[in-house]
């Protein structure tokens, strides 16, 4: 990749953009735009380029390659987002933007590819940062719940895209079984994303409230639940975040076992970094390891928090480097 590249990470709420000037280069001119403020991907890209210092015309060399990570599964030319009204044709966007090539990949495929390159200032690991090796997994509660992995091979790191956030969520005790039974009154399938995400936190909060005897749960957004829970100003929100961290730990342990991610499980997304020390005091790690006969297997698997919400941009650039241009 010896030509300038446009990179993007498109979630359900935010669209993050940047430029990479050459292979292995840093992502520069990073900017985040709200998805709701733009009709679609092409319009958001044009808005991003126009907002660069001096506008798109001021760039010494305009990007001719693009790599876009999207929060949905990729199958063919048509891209339909899971938690956003956006949809687009890859070829139509490429043509409109005047790109020679436009690579579209799953957002957690891109985030997984970023893992081996992440620096210490992009991560937080209370027990020390691991050396990337073998198989790594990443999960991320944001608007939805992403899951991905990356495997070290003789030819470099190879990503494993998937939709693990839509796997069925399993309870670990009677209390969690009661919560999931309450949620199943409204949803036939209770996936991990149904509770462990921005769209899921209000659902989880409602179930926690009903289980505690509240006939009508207060209608709060995910942002309000996180704010009230982290400050301790609302007992139901505090309890919701405690349950959230415990369920996330159990789910993360299952992902580690499924992928054989002995090199580490990384936690991304926009929610967990906002929980601060509450997350590290929670039952996340306890529940991560609580897998019966395989406790010993998981006890030595590191869990690391990704604090840099822009990490997937570098992973998108690496994906473009890996393909034969």
Phi, psi at residue 238, to the nearest 5°?
A: -60, -45
Domain match, 78 and 172 both: no
Domain match, 135 and 258 both: yes
Record the tokens describing residue 249, joined without a space.
């730990």
Predicted pLDDT at 109: 94
Domain match, 246 and 232 both: yes
Residue 207's region, left for phi above 0, alpha for psi from -120 to 50, else beta, is alpha
Tens-of-pLDDT digits for all 325 residues of the chain?
Answer: 567 899 999 988 899 999 998 777 789 999 999 999 999 999 999 999 999 887 766 666 788 899 999 988 898 999 998 878 899 999 999 999 999 999 999 999 999 999 998 999 999 988 888 999 999 999 999 999 999 999 999 988 999 988 999 999 999 999 999 999 999 999 999 999 999 999 999 999 999 999 999 877 778 999 999 999 999 999 999 999 999 999 999 999 999 999 999 999 999 999 999 998 899 999 999 999 999 999 999 999 999 999 998 899 999 999 988 885 4
User: Helix/strand/coil (H, E, C) string of 275-324?
Assistant: HCHHHHHCCHHHHHHCCHHHHHHHHCCCEEEECCCCHHHHHHHHHHHHCC
Domain match, 107 and 152 both: no
DSSP E strand stretches across 24-92: 27-34, 65-70, 78-80, 87-89
Q: CB–CB of 307/269 below 8 Å?
A: no
Domain match, 240 and 134 both: yes
Predicted pLDDT at 323: 80
Domain match, 53 and 187 both: no
Domain residues for the domain of 100 are 5-113+310-322
Predicted pLDDT at 56: 67
Record the tokens describing residue 323, joined without a space.
């393909």
Predicted pLDDT at 325: 44
Domain match, 32 and 100 both: yes
Q: If we measure between CA atoms, which residue out of 308, 295, 222 comes closest to residue 12?
A: 222
Q: What is the reported pTM? A: 0.90
Centre a 10 Å sphere on the Cβ of residue 35 and count the other Cβ atoms it contains.
21
Domain match, 45 and 151 both: no
Predicted pLDDT at 114: 94
Domain match, 274 and 126 both: yes
Q: Which residues of 216-240 are buried (b: 16+ CB within 10 A; e: fewer)?
A: ebeebebebbbebbbeeebebbbbb
Q: What is the CATH number of the domain that holds 283?
A: 3.40.367.20
Centre a 10 Å sphere on the Cβ of residue 61 and count the other Cβ atoms it contains.
9
Domain match, 147 and 295 both: yes
Angle at 176 between CA 173 and CA 182, to 5 degrees: 140
Predicted pLDDT at 60: 64
As for how many domains the chain has, the answer is 2
Q: What is the CATH number of the domain that holds 62?
A: 3.30.420.40
Domain match, 279 and 247 both: yes
**Close Cβ partners of 248 (under 8 Å, ≥ 6 residues apart):** 139, 141, 196, 267, 272, 284, 287
Domain match, 197 and 156 both: yes
Q: If we measure between CA atoms, which residue out of 155, 160, 182 comes closest to residue 171?
A: 182
């Amino acid at each position: 990749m010896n030509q300038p590249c446009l990179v993007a990470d498109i979630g359900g709420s935010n669209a993050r953009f940047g430029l990479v000037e050459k292979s292995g280069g840093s992502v520069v001119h990073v900017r985040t735009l709200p998805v709701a403020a733009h009709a679609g991907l092409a319009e958001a890209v044009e808005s991003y380029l126009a907002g660069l210092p001096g506008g798109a015309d001021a760039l010494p060399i305009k990007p001719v390659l693009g790599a876009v990570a999207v929060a949905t599964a990729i199958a063919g030319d048509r891209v339909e987002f899971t938690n956003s009204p956006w949809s687009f044709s890859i070829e139509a966007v490429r043509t409109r933007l005047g790109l020679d090539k436009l690579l579209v990949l799953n957002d957690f495929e891109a985030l997984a590819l970023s893992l081996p390159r992440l620096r210490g200032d992009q991560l937080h690991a209370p027990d020390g940062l691991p050396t990337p090796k073998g198989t790594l997994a990443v999960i991320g509660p944001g608007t939805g719940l992403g899951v991905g992995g990356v495997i070290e091979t003789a030819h470099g790191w190879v990503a494993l895209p998937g939709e693990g956030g839509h796997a069925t969520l399993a309870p670990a005790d009677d209390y969690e079984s009661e919560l999931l039974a309450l949620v199943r009154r409204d949803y036939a399938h209770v996936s991990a994303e149904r509770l462990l995400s921005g769209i899921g936190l209000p659902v989880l909060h409602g179930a926690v409230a009903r289980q505690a005897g509240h006939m009508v749960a207060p209608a709060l957004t995910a942002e309000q639940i996180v704010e009230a829970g982290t400050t301790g100003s609302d007992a139901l929100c505090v309890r919701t975040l405690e349950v959230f961290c415990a369920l996330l730990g159990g789910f993360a342990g299952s992902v580690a076992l499924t992928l054989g991610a002995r090199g580490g499980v990384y936690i991304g997304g926009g929610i967990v970094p906002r929980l601060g020390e509450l997350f590290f005091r929670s039952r996340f790690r306890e529940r991560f390891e609580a897998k019966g006969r395989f406790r010993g297997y998981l006890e030595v698997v590191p869990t690391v928090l990704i604090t840099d919400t822009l990490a997937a941009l570098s992973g998108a650039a690496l994906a473009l480097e890996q393909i034969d241009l």
